[in-house]
Structure 1
Amino acid sequence: MKKILLAGLAGLLTFGAASAQMLINGAGATFPQPIYTKWFDEYAKVDSSVRFNYQGIGSGGGQKQILAETVDFGASDGPMSDENLAKAPRKLLHIPTVAGAVVVSYNIPGAPKLKLDGPTLASIFLGKIRKWSDAAIKSQNPGVSLPDIDILVVHRSDGSGTTYIFTDYLSSVSDEWAKVAGKNTSVNWPVGLGGKGNAGVAGQIKQSPGAIGYVELAYATQNKLPYADLKNKAGHYITPSLDSVTEALASANIPDDFRFSMVNPPGDKAYPIAGTTWLLVYLEQKDAAKGKKLVEFLRWAYSEGEKMAAGLDYAPLPANVQARVLQRVGEIKY
């Protein structure tokens, strides 16, 4: 009987601890989801009184939900426009976390390593280059056996910061792309098939011979998808990697509000389709207890979480930028 009572008491204590755990909800970008998942899991070991629930629904969804205040923080790979920020009920901060590469993945026989330049990539996504055996692709890949099969373009179907980074790049290398589709988290695609999230696009590429699409580097490596070396502004074909993203990040001009682009940078070794990702957090927190826990987590993320970025193919923010961000985090009121 004594053992039963003790077991029952232990169960009640466990239930009480679980029920007392604070839940902080976030939603948005799938681009940083692998690193955020890692951070939330690790932080649970630091502070067991709080749990983070993050839904990867795309940057567009993250922006909408934080504006509607249905989540405690949003996440986006594209900076919010002035128009969207004006809809916020209070001042909304962009808190940059890590940077990563958007890679061009494909599914062709033999999975050869390809080289592509910006104009060729834009022509593919405009639907002007329709075959893998096209001369524009062949000329950049001498000695590579390219099949005479149709190209199937795969793009995001949801509002996506990965799309923002990719279309920001295409707009920077192709005037035609800038006029036809432009840059945004969602655009009117001239051709192609949609997939939801980075995972959805990676899945479509993997199961569709002839496919080409864009995903965050971690999703390509996890799905064992080949990805192209891209010609950068300096004229060099660059492999997406931690070092080439760090090079791109180093050349970025980062303003006080932390909204910036880092596509097609001038560095010799910089990868041309890279971007940062942001957490979207209100300067004035409505819930004091949640606000305090969120600030504590953010401080931990910059002191400890950034060290985990490289292991998941993300570039940590430079130390001077981290210091600036921590100063901004310190301004959050709760």
Structure 2
Amino acid sequence: MYHWGKRIARCVMGVLGVLFCGTGYSADLTGGGSSFAAPLYRGWGKGFYHQTGLSLTYQSVGSGAGQKLVMAAGVDFGASDLPLADTLLDSNSLYQFPTALGAIVVIINVPGVASNQMKLDGPTLAALFDGTITTWADPRLRALNPGLRLPDLDVLPIHREEASGTSHVFVDYLHNVAPDWKAGMWADGPEARGNDGVAASVRQSIGGIGFVEYAFARQNRLNTVRLKNHAGQCVTPDRTSFTSAATSADWSHADHYAVNLLKAPAPQAWPIMTATFVLVPAHPTDKTAAVATKTFFRYGLKQGDDVARDLDYVPLPTNVKDRILSGWP
């Protein structure tokens, strides 16, 4: 069953390249899942192919689909922005590990306010998204931003219309900083699909505010805000604050590497970070594919940091990479 299921998956995943199976299409390694992680694995795949001659086909089908694919033995590895619970990992004999980190940032379109000029803390950010704060001239915003001229302009909060790893992490953050905030408490306002949809909506909406993966903010040249972190410091979203969060997180006590990056203790840590995860069979029946999979991720973790940074991911700390590779079953 494993080999037939995997053969069918390889055929489906090769459709974009050859339209149907049996025309010489071949993938030495298959993966599927997280859309956030897709550019990273495709970037690693290019270097991996040049070094080993082994090819990777990766389908960006979403975290939930990635989990289902690997559980059904339809791919060599599944990718998910949300870690699986211990019980699911055990019952499906899966090994879970992170491959890189990403930052979620807040973007705004407020006339006269340049990127990273505005400062926000968690409770105020929650109030902007639940509709408690309705104008950019609100006294709470002025108190956090003395000297910054804030217009008497309606706040237009924009959030994702579909379930996503980005939304899940952002909601967790809001609940951490404002315990009464729960999923679904979005104020009336536009919804958008995907990070690119939110980015486009904020760019087109005067008074807009939204949240996206950092890469989308940078690539679209959107204005971001500074945020007060767990240590009480107001920090700028940049490589320094992202790396500070990654290195100060409590990796050693995280079950299956599902570390809480929302409470990284370092003074300069960015407060809204998430890891993207890979799932592989802990007891694979296809030994050849298992060796290729491990070789691919060894290449990515050991030689892929430059690719990760160029694509706006944050590489894992070296000691975490070493633990992942040494603990691989």
Fold conserved between structures, TM > 0.5: yes
Structure 1: which 5+ residue stretches go unaligned?
1-14, 182-186
C-alpha distance 193-75 of structure 1, shift in aligned 2 (>3 A): farther
- Equivalences for 1:1-334 in 2 at 5 Å? 19=24, 21-22=26-27, 24-55=29-60, 57-82=61-86, 84-85=88-89, 90-112=92-114, 113-177=117-181, 180-181=182-183, 189-254=186-251, 255-329=254-328, 331=329
C-alpha distance 222-258 of structure 1, shift in aligned 2 (>3 A): same
Structure 1 segments (4+ residues) deviating >6 Å: none
C-alpha distance 167-50 of structure 1, shift in aligned 2 (>3 A): same
CA contact (8 A) 1:29 1:160 kept: no
C-alpha distance 316-58 of structure 1, shift in aligned 2 (>3 A): same
Instruction: Please give the alpha-carbon distance, in whole angstroms, between the structure 2 residues aligned to 1:229 and 1:171.
Output: 19
Structure 2: which 5+ residue stretches go unaligned?
1-17
What is the percentage of aligned positions where both structures have the same residue? 39
Which amino acid in 2 is paired with 1:108? V
Q: Deviations over 1:218-267 (max 9, x none)?
A: 11100111111101122211011222122112221223511121103221
Which residue in the other structure is 1:9 paired with?
none
Instruction: Please give the alpha-carbon distance, in whole angstroms, between the structure 2 residues aligned to 1:80 and 1:234.
Output: 28
CA contact (8 A) 2:101 2:314 kept: yes
Instruction: Please give the alpha-carbon distance, in whole angstroms, between the structure 1 residues aligned to 2:86 and 2:185.
Output: 21
Instruction: Please give the alpha-carbon distance, in whole angstroms, between the structure 2 residues aligned to 1:34 and 1:132.
Output: 36
CA contact (8 A) 2:29 2:54 kept: no
1:93 shift after superposition: 2.0
CA contact (8 A) 1:169 1:264 kept: no
Instruction: Please give the alpha-carbon distance, in whole angstroms, between the structure 2 residues aligned to 1:41 and 1:126.
Output: 43
Instruction: Please give the alpha-carbon distance, in whole angstroms, between the structure 2 residues aligned to 1:188 and 1:295.
Output: 42
Q: Deviations over 1:125-182 (max 9, x none)?
A: 22211222222122212232322222222222333222222122111111111xx32x
CA contact (8 A) 1:78 1:162 kept: no
Which amino acid in 2 is paired with 1:38? G
Which residue in the other structure is 2:10 paired with?
none
CA contact (8 A) 2:77 2:279 kept: yes
Instruction: Please give the alpha-carbon distance, in whole angstroms, between the structure 2 residues aligned to 1:61 and 1:126.
Output: 30
| Residue aligned with 2:263, SS | coil
C-alpha distance 323-108 of structure 1, shift in aligned 2 (>3 A): same
Which amino acid in 2 is paired with 1:308? V
CA contact (8 A) 2:130 2:185 kept: no
C-alpha distance 196-292 of structure 1, shift in aligned 2 (>3 A): farther
Instruction: Please give the alpha-carbon distance, in whole angstroms, between the structure 1 residues aligned to 2:123 and 2:211.
Output: 16
TM-score of the aligned structures, taking structure 2 as reference length: 0.83
1:84 shift after superposition: 5.0
CA contact (8 A) 2:48 2:296 kept: yes
CA contact (8 A) 2:157 2:187 kept: no
TM-score of the aligned structures, taking structure 1 as reference length: 0.82
Which residue in the other structure is 1:3 paired with?
none
Q: Deviations over 1:65-104 (max 9, x none)?
A: 4344444322222222346546x5x212222111221100
Q: Which deviates the most, 278-287 or 63-72?
A: 63-72
| Residue aligned with 2:209, SS | strand
RMSD: 2.4
CA contact (8 A) 1:20 1:49 kept: no
* Number of positions where the alignment pairs a residue of Structure 1 with one of Structure 2: 304
